[in-house]
Structure 1
Amino acid sequence: MTNVSRREFLEKSMFATAAMTLAGSASTRCFAQGDAPKGEKLRVAVVGIKGRGGAHLAGFGERDDCQIVALVDVDETVLNNRADEIEKKTGHRPAVFSDMRKCFEDKSIDIVSIATPNHWHSLAAIWAIQAGKDVYVEKPVSHNVSEGRRVVEAARKYGRIVQTGTQSRSNPGMREAIDFIHRGGIGEVKLARGLCYKPRGSIGPKGNYDIPASVDYDLWSGPAEIKPLDRKSLHYDWHWMWDYGNGDLGNQGIHQMDIARWGLGEANIGNSVLSYGGRLGYEDAGETANTQVSIHEFANGKRLVFEVRGLKTEKYGYPYEEGGEKKMTDASVGVIFYGTEGIMVVPSYNGGVVLNLEGKPTGIKFQGGNDRFHFANFIDAVRSRKHEDLNADIEEGHFSSAMCHVGNISYRLGSPHTVKELAGQLSGDSEALETLDRFRQHLIDNKIDTETTKITVGPRLSITPEETFTGPHADEANKMLTREYRSPYIVPRTEDL
């Protein structure tokens, strides 16, 4: 592929941006400047308001064309505190619900915005869609592969607008960076590396802890089996429990997974996956891996390698000197695209830096955007009634979420091996061995004996276009595409939507 000059690309980008604005994206542009899109106010309910839900309250609540009219949370204290805050700020107190089903009965609500724990994302979205609402649902859009596809089917069947919470998709700097890759800016790209080097400490010992008195634990558990609370914190640390979360691969990592797949131009979940790692360095109540590598292969020879590091780690990137000063193009929580004519490092949610093949900055960089652009894009699509107008349509969210899930499936089906034994299995694959060598060094840096420590090595699973597994281990792996749902919190089958 022919390299694109920086001047040519920027000239075309400016023309495209101007044309897009004239063609009807003025609402996004105006909102970014502080002016809200015109039209009747849209009535919004936010479900799950303790953590990321706060950003949803700001994303919709700060717009002149939206009004937050309802809040849903299973924690009574959090629920009322948020309602008090909104009333103090706006003079209007939103209705409060502990059960989202009661909220969805309100026909005047236009939009449901979901920021619950992962195990609720798909069912909450489907219930809202069936109630005639448009939906903004946080990443990952699902807790397993099958239910994510059900959300896509529901959105199409009921004609609803459903946006995924991967805000990078709407940031102008990121969109320009990915467009640069797609137009041959760094040549042909066969490999993308997603990195989630985000140290996480122990969550404390496994035990029997009290459920907060303000929480309706039946509703909190929802689709999952009701179990005693065996970790210190009910909130957030659910990310590291298989019943509710997907580890950092499906927490922080889903952002970088989505960018990597987007840059590779792949609208599927790949042809195969192999994952290895472990919960290493400490023993606690957590179940998911804190150190993990997943290798995804696509039909056309492209590869996506994803690395999670939850232990202490050095920054990863490309060192260089500028004006006699040592600097680094950091990709520690980011994505690296390797092209035949250059490298693109994406170190954030809103842009990228182009390097030459030696890893030195070329001077080409892209930057700009914030969460507001993503909420604005969603509102534009709600008004146009075209899901094609979404920057992060639910199916895009499904593909990227499902890639995290299949990586975890391989890992969970794994067996104990030493690093040396795994190296023998990867013999002949230079890139995989280079990744494993850095994985090994990372363990050594954290004083983990790589000669004797057993890591969990999953099987290489073959994936069909229908998003199922085939070949060796398919029977066990296919069972993990879904879960046992607890009545009445059951994600419907395709025929029951």
Structure 2
Amino acid sequence: MANQTRRRFLENTMLATATATAGGLMGQPILQAAKANKSANETVRVAVLGVNGRGRSHINGFTGVENCDVVAVCDPDETVGHIKGVENVHKKTGKKPTYYQDLRRVMDDDSIDVVSIATPNHWHSLAAIWAMQAGKDVYVEKPVSHNIREGRVMVDVARKEGRVCQAGTQIRSNPGVIEGIKFLKEGGLGELQVARALCYKRRKSIDHVGETPVPKGVDYDLWLGPTPLRADVPRKSLHYDWHWQWEYGNGDLGNQGIHQMDVARWGIGADTLADSVISFGGRFGYVDDGETPNTEMSIMEYGDKLLVFETRGLPTKHYLGGDAGGNDVGNIFHCENGYMKCSYTSAVVFDPDGNEIKRFSEGDDSYHYNNFVDAVRSRRVEDLNGEINEGHLSSALCHLANISYRLGESSDFGAAPAGLAGNEFAVDVFERTKSHLKDNNVDPSQVKFAMGPKLMVDKKTESFIDNAAANALTTREYRKGYEVPAQA
């Protein structure tokens, strides 16, 4: 161990636990590499797609992995690509990567081993599919898809092409949470009853300005990709605020919340979609160009277990500890003999009276990048902590919830809706949501909310039972030249 860091030692010793908790992976064959396997002292060459936001974390992550070089960056915005991409890598490593404006040129570059995707959500699946079809391994940001069907196709392509594909759900690699989930699954608190996920993250208005010009230096055709072609930007800012418009993003449930959705499903031990879903909420407190809800509550059933998700974009009270900015993000697992709270890197166990009885800690994003590169070298899909099928299932749960919300009927806040009747946790969520709005000077009696239908899910086909309107939202119309294939 003399030449091993504590971090890598912990990562290696946790590997068996991590793979044991990953549903649907055991028994997968060793992948065949399109190129010869790389030894630990050979360089893995990485291209990062999208470097304005999360892509900068990808640059930091991969430049921090031993014998791993970021050799190319790609962004349809030339200014972003050069300043936040090329110059950023150069400052960190002393080497200037190649800049590509068109991601298709990245796929054509045979010297690239790995494509790391941090584009807007509407590009995630198609970019990953193109990269794997070009013989490259892929690290793709969450959510791994913009809709359910394209996520499943991406998984199938990974299997067909024999590629290593990791979802950017980095909590999966943090030893503190791995140990906590292991404790939970081994019955440390008795039977699990409810898996709660909280995304209480302050999101301010994006303003109400309508269409704005496309910034100079942006290839907007490439930025739009699979979405409909248009001449303007339907909001004030091209970057980031796309999260709150359905054509491009999936709201905070599919942005921040996908992490907590993934941990909730992990704790339940489910390797399928839920049996049912029902969602309600709205966009409260301001009027802007955003379409997605800033307040959304979703309840899913897994047999006799519930998965309850709460998204709040207005300031809120703390349940997990929170921070000075009013953010409170994480998970709570309610069990027959106590409960467990999870953050990004830790899991804390409590008895029924709220007394702490056990704590697991350790982790940061570097574990996930190292885990991915190790799997690129080993060619073993089961070495991945966030293998693409896991990323697909958790992303698809977010899509399920959003579909129920989008089909919702305008309703008055009053008594709990009939769709929540008989569900103690669901009614509690509804009443707390009303209190939350009042705390933010939003009078529930003066606003409407969308009450989605309860949708039953065919877990085998990953579609809805007897609901054509819901099934229509499991995919989208793709622009010519940017189609996600119908199958792998």
> Normalising by the residue count of structure 1, what TM-score does the alignment of the two structures yield?
0.88
Partner of 1:30: none
Instruction: Give the Å deviation of 1:107.
Output: 1.2
Partner of 2:80: 78
Equivalences for 1:38-49 in 2 at 5 Å?
38-49=40-51
Instruction: Give the Å deviation of 1:493.
Output: 0.9
Partner of 2:472: 479
Amino acid in the other structure paired with 2:81: L
1:213–1:338 distance in 2 versus 1, CA, 3 Å? same
- Comparing 56-65 with 255-264, greater Cα deviation is found at 56-65
1:66 aligns with one of 65, 68, 76: 68
Partner of 2:331: 335
Q: Which string of whole-angstrom CA distances, capped at 9 and with x for unpartnered residues, describes residues 450-483 of structure 1?
A: 2242100000000002100013xx1000000000
Unpaired runs of 5+ residues, structure 2, are: 1-8, 19-38
Partner of 1:349: 344
Kindly, what percent of the aligned residue pairs are identical?
Answer: 52
Partner of 1:143: 146
Inter-partner Cα distance in structure 2 for 1:125 and 1:163: 10
Unpaired runs of 5+ residues, structure 1, are: 1-15, 26-36, 320-326
1:257 aligns with one of 257, 261, 264: 261
C-alpha RMSD over aligned residues: 2.1
Does 2:281 align with 1:286? Answer: no
Instruction: Give the Å deviation of 1:63.
Output: 2.3
Amino acid in the other structure paired with 1:62: G
1:232–1:258 distance in 2 versus 1, CA, 3 Å? same
Partner of 2:93: 90
Partner of 1:209: 212
Instruction: Give the Å deviation of 1:447.
Output: 1.8
SS in 2 for 1:388: helix
Q: Is the 8 A contact 1:273 1:461 kept in 2?
A: yes
Q: Is the 8 A contact 1:172 1:350 kept in 2?
A: yes
Number of equivalent positions: 454
Inter-partner Cα distance in structure 1 for 2:99 and 2:301: 46
Q: Which string of whole-angstrom CA distances, capped at 9 and with x for unpartnered residues, describes residues 8-53 of structure 1?
A: xxxxxxxx96983899x9xxxxxxxxxxx93210111111111110
Inter-partner Cα distance in structure 2 for 1:99 and 1:316: 44
2:417 aligns with one of 420, 423, 426: 423
Partner of 2:34: none
Q: Is the 8 A contact 1:109 1:133 kept in 2?
A: yes
Amino acid in the other structure paired with 1:59: G
Does 2:146 align with 1:152? Answer: no
Inter-partner Cα distance in structure 2 for 1:64 and 1:318: 35
Partner of 1:3: none
SS in 2 for 1:306: strand
SS in 2 for 1:313: coil
Inter-partner Cα distance in structure 1 for 2:184 and 2:158: 30
Partner of 1:381: 375
Q: Is the 8 A contact 2:10 2:175 kept in 1?
A: no
Partner of 2:194: 191
Equivalences for 1:299-314 in 2 at 5 Å?
300-314=303-317
Partner of 2:463: 468
Amino acid in the other structure paired with 1:210: P
Partner of 1:182: 185
Amino acid in the other structure paired with 1:479: A
Amino acid in the other structure paired with 1:137: V
1:476–1:416 distance in 2 versus 1, CA, 3 Å? same
Q: Is the 8 A contact 2:242 2:248 kept in 1?
A: yes
SS in 2 for 1:258: helix
Partner of 1:268: 272
Q: Which string of whole-angstrom CA distances, capped at 9 and with x for unpartnered residues, describes residues 264-320 of structure 1?
A: 10111101100000001110010000000011111x21110000000121112489x
Q: Is the 8 A contact 2:299 2:306 kept in 1?
A: yes
Amino acid in the other structure paired with 2:344: Y
Inter-partner Cα distance in structure 2 for 1:430 and 1:85: 51
Equivalences for 1:442-457 in 2 at 5 Å?
442-457=436-451
Q: Is the 8 A contact 1:422 1:457 kept in 2?
A: no
Inter-partner Cα distance in structure 2 for 1:405 and 1:442: 24
Does 2:249 align with 1:245? Answer: yes
Q: Is the 8 A contact 1:290 1:311 kept in 2?
A: yes
1:19–1:386 distance in 2 versus 1, CA, 3 Å? closer
1:58–1:17 distance in 2 versus 1, CA, 3 Å? closer
Inter-partner Cα distance in structure 2 for 1:167 and 1:89: 22
Q: Is the 8 A contact 2:275 2:300 kept in 1?
A: yes
Q: Is the 8 A contact 2:196 2:308 kept in 1?
A: yes
Divergent runs of 4+, >4 A? 16-19
Amino acid in the other structure paired with 1:266: A
